[in-house]
Copies of this chain bind each other. A is one copy, B any other.
């Protein structure tokens, strides 16, 4: 690679790691890798391995990650997503090996920022970004600024309890949105039916609009819709941007809109993320 002074945005999700090289606001190169979902810190090694060859091209690295991040230290919110660990020095560890400045923040906050600066959020003063992927996350933008949470919980939309005494969630509470509407949750439902060998992704691509898949999708999206209406009720926010591989799939997205309309008369706008699966890395770029 001939480019110099590249900014690298890294997104560590529950199933995929995305490493994206930016020259100003343009993407030069993308690397997609599988997440080590058993032990989170392992992913730092995977990222380092893939960056070493490009050391001389890199100016700065920004990381968006699932879980909780405080002062560069990485911990787990839902231990079913990426293993169980606490206070791993993510930024320090990568900086030591690559020798460039590194920062890290939550993936949903990153995605919301990406959509605000470069995506579907450009036209809104206030919106709520929701990602539906391996887990479920969400982040608020108020007056064109990401809402600074006082606690450093990341993507905690998914851990709003919608069904008291409902399913046990990986976070320890019962009845969270994530326990019903995440990729992990839907995979589990599929395994309990006679569609054992079908994954959520597989279902969304190959079995869309079949009666049995629509039943599963309708149930999951009802939880997302209840969450959207709860956020609207509590904050008054009317604009919602949906991202994440599951959220962006056509029939899942359509059902979110349908089920939201069923439970509220409020004028709520729900649209897809403008940057699709790159919202998080564009968010890193926006923060750099």
On A, residues with C-beta under 8 Å from B are 126, 138, 147, 149-153, 156-157, 159-164, 166, 172-173, 222-223, 226, 229-238, 263-266
Question: How far apart sit A232 and B163, CA to CA, in the bound complex (Å)?
Answer: 17
**The one of B160, B164, B236, B264 that contacts A222, using a Cβ cutoff of 8 Å:** B164
Point out which of A152, A162, A164, A263 has the most chain B C-beta atoms below 10 A from its C-beta. Answer: A164
The answer to whether A232 and B151 touch across the interface, beta carbons within 8 angstroms, is yes
Question: Could you tell me if A162 and B162 are in contact, using CB atoms closer than 8 angstroms?
Answer: yes
- A266 with B151: CB separation less than 8 A: yes
> In whole angstroms, how far apart are the Cα atoms of A264 and B153 in the complex?
13
Q: Point out the residue from B152, B159, B172, B223 that lies within 8 Å of A164, measured CB to CB.
A: B223
Nearest CB in chain B: distance from A254 CB, A: 21
| Among A152, A156, A157, A235, residue most surrounded by chain B Cβ atoms (within 10 Å) | A235
Once bound together, how far apart are the Cα atoms of A195 and B209, in whole Å?
A: 52
Pick the residue among B157, B163, B164, B236 that contacts A149 (CB under 8 A).
Answer: B236
| Chain B residues in 8 Å Cβ range of A147 | 235
A151 to chain B, nearest CB (A): 4
